[in-house]
Amino acid sequence: MAVTTPAPPTPAPSRPTARRDTGPRGLRQRLARWDVTFSPYLYIAPFFLVFAVAGLFPIVYTAYVSVHDWHLIGGQGGFVGLQNYVDVLTQPRFLTALRNTFSIFLLSSVPQLIVAIVVAAVLDANLRAKTFWRMGVLLPYVVAPVAVALIFSKMFADQSGLINTVLAGVGLDPIGWHSDPLASHVAIATMVNFRWTGYNTLILLAAMQAVPRDLYEAAVIDGAGRLRQFLSVTVPMLRPTLIFVVITSTIGGLQIFDEPRMFDTLGQGGADRQWMTVTMYLYELGWGAQKSFGRASAVAWILFLIIVAIGLLNFALTRKIASAGAATKGGAK
């Protein structure tokens, strides 16, 4: 810092010979040039250094582990090529895990985003005590996932749970929350939705507030009602934010672990693995009975590739939607 701050009092650009100077002024100038060229990179370097240590290295190292026999305590064994991947992909349990993950992901993300966007629209309206309501929707997010799981597992208990008691009270059959795969997914998705809807609502609300108000005024002059304004102005203007929310909730949804693991006391996803997700399967391979870090790493990489694939799909769809949006806008003019 101290070296670069005393900048030359008289700028040199007017003198072409200054370049050849080998004296202190030339050095100063060179430093100034370097400052402009390299400093920005230095400023952002810490992030990339941290990322390299905490992000990139584990990813690469996991790939290395995944092609070896690797025991949790015993450590590295021999090189086995893609055997771990083959082992994992041929286990029926992996497919069960994949099915569960996607099912829970869809059951949580889709209703969550729809509810979030509606709640955000309501919060965007002229309410009394705005801050109170806005902070209120974030409240569930503050509750620790483990606490959420504890409360919900009481509600979703098969024999003594609140929900089945209510169902029995109105003469319906109790639902096997811990035996039927779809019911267990719904129960887990409920916990996820409870925590994350408010979070997404606030992000969408922020985006809604950035929508220029004159668009609404124009819409009103054109005779659009509330619903029409919401569908034709708010939703299209939210598109970039929606895409962001969809991508983050996809990544989060595919990595879901806490809620399904806390859904019963054993934490292995049910006796028939009704609600075992891919990350739980990864944990079971690495830290459970098999203690195979090799296979667990293979699962980690498969999951990584799936997320990347879905990310690319998202990206492609996004571009399509974005260009389609631009085209209709152009057409409207």
**Comparison of 28 and 291: residue with beta carbon closer to another protein:** 291
Of 21-29, 49-57, 199-207, 259-267, which part binds another protein (CB under 8 A)? 259-267
**Comparison of 221 and 289: residue with beta carbon closer to another protein:** 289
CA dihedral 147, 152, 153, 157 (to 10 degrees): 160
For residue 292, the cross-strand partners are: 71
Q: Which of 178, 185, 195, 261 binds another protein (CB under 8 A)?
A: 178
Of 7-15, 165-173, 175-183, 313-321, which part binds another protein (CB under 8 A)? 175-183
Show the DSSP H helices in the chain as ranges. 24-51, 57-66, 83-90, 92-124, 130-142, 145-155, 162-169, 181-209, 213-221, 226-229, 235-237, 239-254, 258-261, 278-287, 293-332
Residues contacting another protein: total by CB under 8 A: 31
The yes or no reply on residue 180 touching another protein (CB under 8 A) is: yes
The yes or no reply on residue 3 touching another protein (CB under 8 A) is: no
The yes or no reply on residue 42 touching another protein (CB under 8 A) is: no
Of 67-75, 190-198, 300-308, 313-321, which part binds another protein (CB under 8 A)? 67-75
For residue 70, the cross-strand partners are: 76
Q: Which of 20, 160, 169, 330 binds another protein (CB under 8 A)?
A: 160
Q: How far is CA 243 from the centre of its chain?
A: 11
Show the DSSP H helices in 76-91 as ranges. 83-90
To the nearest whole angstrom, how small is the minimum distance from the Cβ of residue 190 to another protein?
16
Which pair of tokens denotes residue 232?
A: 């034709």
The yes or no reply on residue 287 touching another protein (CB under 8 A) is: yes
The yes or no reply on residue 154 touching another protein (CB under 8 A) is: yes
Phi and psi for 225 in degrees, rounded to 5?
Answer: -80, 180
The yes or no reply on residue 99 touching another protein (CB under 8 A) is: no
Q: How far is the C-alpha of 274 from the C-alpha of 182, rounded, in Å?
A: 8
Burial 168-179 (b: 16+ CB within 10 A, else e): eeeeeeebebbe
Burial 266-295 (b: 16+ CB within 10 A, else e): eebbbeebbbbbbbbbbbbbbebeeebbbb
Report the chain's C-alpha Rg in angstroms.
28
The yes or no reply on residue 176 touching another protein (CB under 8 A) is: yes
Q: Which of 4, 39, 165, 179 binds another protein (CB under 8 A)?
A: 179
The yes or no reply on residue 75 touching another protein (CB under 8 A) is: yes
The yes or no reply on residue 98 touching another protein (CB under 8 A) is: no
The yes or no reply on residue 183 touching another protein (CB under 8 A) is: no
**Comparison of 35 and 87: residue with beta carbon closer to another protein:** 87
Q: Which amino acid is at 280?
A: M
The yes or no reply on residue 174 touching another protein (CB under 8 A) is: no
Residues that bind another protein (CB under 8 A): 72-75, 87, 91-93, 153-154, 157-161, 176, 178-180, 264-266, 268, 270-272, 287-291
